[in-house]
Amino acid sequence: MRDYITNGQISLRKYRSEDEYALFEGINESIKELTHWGFYHADFTLADARNDVASRIENWTGGNSYTFIIEACPVPLFLGNCTVSEIEPEKNLAALGWWVRTSQAGKGIATSAGCLAAQAAFEDLNLVSLAIYTNADNQASRRVAEKIGAALVRIKPEADGVLCAVYELKACDLRLE
């Protein structure tokens, strides 16, 4: 998987160990929203960020998942991240996910990042389909999935009773910006 992608407005790049503070800062700014959707925890520390970055680097190196930092261009500012995970090479499938820090939400960043990461995943990993899973109540993420060309497959209950919207994005349906 390529480790850098840009459209001139944002860039996606592989995590580096020195990204721990940027991740920590972004998560702590967004902790209310992230915990609401079931991500991270309220007392997220710099040590947690260090471990998270190390895990993302290790997963990338092992080919298990690819998490990109989303940065503003031309001055790099941590905007969030975008991940290609749950890779099934024998079926040419994977999952796509993202989050954008609260102060930058609603600016089209997730849509741009989703497009860039999906295009790279389709081309570099020879995928035919990406699944996108989001809380059924998360209208912002659902709109992003639809904007990039994904189709709603079903709404399914999770083990905790929360409803999950499951989308499928096929390579032929990807809407590039």
CATH code of the domain covering residue 50: 3.40.630.30
Q: Token pair of 34, please?
A: 């992230």
- Residue 36 above 80 pLDDT? no
pLDDT over threshold 70, residue 177: no
| Residue linked to tokens 């189709």 | 151
Q: What is the pLDDT of residue 128?
A: 95
CB neighbours of 69 closer than 8 A, spacing ≥ 6?
12, 13, 14, 15, 19, 22, 23, 78, 80, 81
15 or 41: which leads in pLDDT: 15
- Report the domain count for the chain: 1
Could you list the residue range(s) of the whole structural domain that residue 137 is in? 4-173
Residue 18 DSSP symbol: G
